[in-house]
Amino acid sequence: MLHCLVLPIMVTLFPIVQGTLLEEKHFHLIMLVFILPTSLIALTLGCRRHKDRLTIALGAIGLLTLTITAIWGHSLFDYMGERIVTTIGGLILASAHIQNFRCCRHVDCQHDES
């Protein structure tokens, strides 16, 4: 459980502290390749079971924010603005995963019993 909650937060904070390891645009696109499928699978499994609208809304807003920023962030925002919007999108997505986790614990759902 701990790694499921810490990983989204670490991924969210990494753009702030990454320095010059990768060019910003490439970093965002690479992260999106990992974040989109992982989050879609996790949120779909949970939401299919308990249909929590808050989880769906937070997940959609977070993923949409991250996608838009990864693709068009350089033309929409300045350097710091892009980092701020990416961080906000990541925190929203992390909130969706936390809400999904809470819903699963509340109803004690077993996703492998589909």
In a domain, 104, yes or no: yes
In a domain? residue 1: no
Measured distance CA(96)–CA(63) in Å, rounded: 10
The confidence band for 114, taking pLDDT boundaries of 50, 70 and 90, is very low
Evaluate whether residue 16 is within a structural domain: no
92 domain-assigned: yes
Q: Is residue 3 part of a domain?
A: no
Q: pLDDT, tens digit, for every residue of 14-39?
A: 656 555 555 666 777 777 888 888 88
Domain hosting 61: range is 24-113
Show the tokens assigned to 67: 């996608």
Q: Is residue 5 part of a domain?
A: no
Half-sphere exposure of 82 (CA within 13 A, CB side): 19
Q: Does residue 67 carry a pLDDT above 80?
A: yes
Instruction: Identify whether 6 is part of a domain.
Output: no
How many domains does the structure of the chain reveal?
A: 1
Does the pTM surpass 0.75? The reply is: no
Q: Is residue 30 part of a domain?
A: yes
